[in-house]
Amino acid sequence: MVWVSRRAWRRFRGDRLGFAGGVSLGLIGVTMILLLPFSTSWFNVQDLHGAVRANPTIAMPTSYDVYSVSLSESLLGSRFVGFGSMMHSVAGVFGFDDLGRSVFFRVGLGWVISMMIGAGAAVMATVIGVGWGTVSGLAGGAIDQLMMRIVDILYGLPYVLFVVLLRVVLADPMTDWLGGRSQLAGVVLVVLAIGSVSWLTMARVVRGQVLSLKTQGFVEAASANGAGSVRIMVRHIFPNVVGVVIVYASLIVPQAILQESFLSFLGIGIQSPLPSLGTLASDGVNAVNAFVGFWWLIVFPCGMLFTTLLAMNFLGDGLRDAFDPRGKCGMVGSG
Amino acid sequence: MITYALRRLLLLIPTYVGITAVTFGVIHLSPGSPTLFHGSDGGSQEMSEASWKRLESHFGLDRPLHVQYGQWLTRSVRLDFGTSFSDGRAVLQKIAEKLPWTLLLSTISIVGGLLISIPIGIRSAARRGGFFDRISGVLLYAMFSVPSYVVAMLLIVAVVVIPIEAIPISGVRADHFASMTPLEKIGDISRHLLLIAICFTYPSLAFQSRFVRGNMLDVLGQDYIRTARSKGLNERAVIWRHGFGNTLIPMITLLGLLLPTVISGSVILEVMFQIPGIGKLFYDAVLQRDFPTVMGLSSLTAMLVLLATLLADLAYGLADPRVRYDSARA
């Protein structure tokens, strides 16, 4: 196991794109986590100095132009909290949205929420998928048949229906369970919805891997030595599927983030006022059209989504090359 | 082989029943009744208890759930999916209206996608790590990392701002469609579908070309490729006939995965480009709790998924004589 991962690491380091993806993801991640204290407290603060809906313009409002403070205060009453002139310039680097909220802080928090969704779905897919696939592959026979038919059935279910109903049915119980935090409950539900579909592929892949491992000498040797099925699973099967699992899990993260952005566009993803990269991108798409160019509402959230997903995909691809056992003779193909 | 095919065909039945039963249960047990959308105008007027009951029995919702499902199942075998709750028209007819557009779009995107991604995959496998391999990898992953609705918005804005008047941004046909010659009609529809077809196709290019590339790399590492090269065969024949020819078997898996998407459509793109498709129909049906339409569409999709998986498995056996259908692996 140790030598496998060391060889994989050596190969991975040689892959410049994958390495660059990992490094940039790390840099973005550290920045966003350092920003988190600020973005959590400022993401929903409205500053109508920056709200520009009334004045569609190509220029991004970053300067503190005085714009009917009294009007906005009377409109919003006590909800109005300005950023103050110091914070305003920081909050305004990515511009403001139609409600006068800082796009910068919203992207900051949205990135973290999207990442939580991606990671949550990947963890869920890994835990359920690996367990299900291993048991099914090892058991064989009728149990295998039954377990795989269940996967088939879940595969055939209409996904959108599932997500909509999960939201409706579980929203209240989940909120109660989380002690009344309904926003957190919304995030958890999205993770559940995406994760409960992602594990199916993982289960199929792991089962295939287990089926081919099962016939190999070392597993037969172990069982001839009197090892029980649990021991075989833990000591001999798991270490050998780790590579495949890491690769698939790393591909699930960007897929889940993208998936959430589609759900958000349909209005069944993360609920306002919480941001995610997906909700920000879809809000931007809805705000921008050929006649009004609020380009910063599109460019910054989508730029962040794009950079993050690209880095993840490179990272995942690099991991796949690194863990692929066939990679050792891969240079033959280069001719 | 025949026994195996028959056995798998029989296994489709419980799986189909399973999928439809779970879907049926999920949608019927969820809060929000179709009668809600009928009786009251968005909740502004209360319905009397009696008319509520009448509406429920009209839709057959007053019977026990398993009875309802049993009735639905026996009718669905005869492809009778009942009438829609929302407008009282036959579900099959509603589907048949939208299906051609979705089928057309997904066929274009599958065929177009394969025509683009197969050459890219082969080319990048032929010179692994070379300039083309790296550039195409970066570009394809870049495209894969943008949600399709963003690309759709950018395309629409670009077409309007530049402006390109030859490309309409919404709808499926021009106003004077009826007066066109058949050739013009084809041209008109393809101009209308151009943008949405791009948005349908580009996200899958990364996965498909990487799939082809991976399989090509496997094949190109085989001994018979070295033999073909050493006997002096030109590179093109090595790559295409000996190389690509042998990746056709895993391509069956890819087609098996693509086939079910043929009728799924995409609610987001259909709304953005105002194209009548299955995605929107299904989404609206879910929101309105239009049970017959939801059930009709999901059982059609389920059948297609199951058939595609089965066909892919059987095609493996036909294409590759080494595949054996032992009972242990089935």
Q: Where are the domains of chain B?
A: 92-287
A262 touches chain B (CB under 8 A): yes
What percent of chain B clears pLDDT 90, i.e. is strictly above it? 5
- Residue A333 pLDDT class (50, 70, 90 cuts): very low
pLDDT of residue A70: 35
Q: Decide: B95 and B296 in contact? Cβ < 8 Å.
A: yes
Residue A241 pLDDT > 60, yes or no? yes
Mark yes or no for CB contact A313/B26 under 8 Å: no
Identify the weakest region by mean pLDDT among A43-52, A297-306, B117-126: A43-52
Residue B330: list chain A partners with CB under 8 A.
145
Mark yes or no for CB contact A313/B145 under 8 Å: yes
Single pTM value for the model: 0.81
- Residue A82 pLDDT class (50, 70, 90 cuts): low
The pLDDT mean for chain B works out to: 82
In 3D, which of B150, B279, B27 has the Cα closest to residue A295? B150
In 3D, which of B283, B249, B258, B256 has the Cα closest to residue B269? B283
Residue of A153 and B115 predicted with greater confidence: B115
Mean pLDDT of A29-58: 69
Alpha helices (runs of H) in B231-290, residue ranges in sequence order: 235-237, 248-258, 267-273, 278-287
Q: Considering CB atoms only, which of A313, A329, A332 is closest to B141?
A: A313
pLDDT of residue A304: 92
Residue B283: list chain A partners with CB under 8 A.
160, 266
- Residue A44 pLDDT class (50, 70, 90 cuts): confident
Distance CA B232, CA B226 (A): 10
Count CB atoms within 10 A of the CB of residue B163. Answer: 10
Mark yes or no for CB contact A334/B127 under 8 Å: yes
Mark yes or no for CB contact B218/A326 under 8 Å: yes
Residue of A27 and B315 predicted with greater confidence: A27
Cis peptide before B163 (omega within 30 of 0): yes
Residue B153 pLDDT > 50, yes or no? yes
CATH top-level class for B92-287? mainly alpha
Distance CA B282, CA A156 (A): 15
Structure tokens at B18: 């399973």
User: Rounded to a whole number, what is the distance in Å from the CA of B78 to chain A's nearest CA?
Assistant: 21
Tell me the pLDDT tens digit for each residue of A242-265. Answer: 878 888 888 889 989 998 998 888
Identify the weakest region by mean pLDDT among A32-41, A142-151, A161-170: A161-170
pLDDT of residue A126: 93
Structure tokens at B220: 């190109």
**Chain B residue whose CA is closest to A312:** B145
Residue B267: list chain A partners with CB under 8 A.
160, 266
Mean pLDDT of A105-125: 92
- Residue A116 pLDDT class (50, 70, 90 cuts): very high
Tell me the pLDDT tens digit for each residue of A198-216. Answer: 899 889 888 888 888 887 8
pLDDT of residue B323: 65
What's the complex ipTM? 0.79
Please report the DSSP string for B144-172 in residue order: HTS-HHHHHHHHHHHHHHTT-TTS-SSSS
pLDDT of residue A58: 44
Structure tokens at A213: 């491992």
Residue A154 pLDDT > 80, yes or no? yes
Sequence-distant contacts of B155-161: CB under 8 A, at least 24 apart: B155/B195, B155/B198, B155/B199, B156/A289, B156/A290, B156/B195, B156/B272, B157/A288, B157/A289, B157/A290, B159/B195, B160/A290, B161/A290
Residue A321 pLDDT > 60, yes or no? yes
Residue B75 pLDDT > 90, yes or no? no
- Residue A117 pLDDT class (50, 70, 90 cuts): very high
The pLDDT mean for chain A works out to: 77
Mark yes or no for CB contact A261/B146 under 8 Å: no
- Residue A28 pLDDT class (50, 70, 90 cuts): very high
Mean pLDDT of A153-158: 80
B204 touches chain A (CB under 8 A): no
Provide the residue type at B33 as one letter: S
pLDDT of residue A77: 35
Interface of B with A in 217-246 (CB under 8 A): 217-218, 220-221, 226, 229
Mean pLDDT of B242-266: 80
Interface of A with B in 198-227 (CB under 8 A): 211
Q: Considering CB atoms only, which of A150, A258, A310 is closest to B147?
A: A258
Residue of A275 and A49 predicted with greater confidence: A275
Number of Cβ pairs < 8 A linking chain A and chain B: 143
What percent of chain A clears pLDDT 90, i.e. is strictly above it? 18
pLDDT of residue B329: 43
Mean pLDDT of B302-327: 75
User: Rounded to a whole number, what is the distance in Å from the CA of B52 to chain A's nearest CA?
Assistant: 22
Residue A94 pLDDT > 90, yes or no? no
Residue A79 pLDDT > 50, yes or no? no
Residue A62 pLDDT > 70, yes or no? no
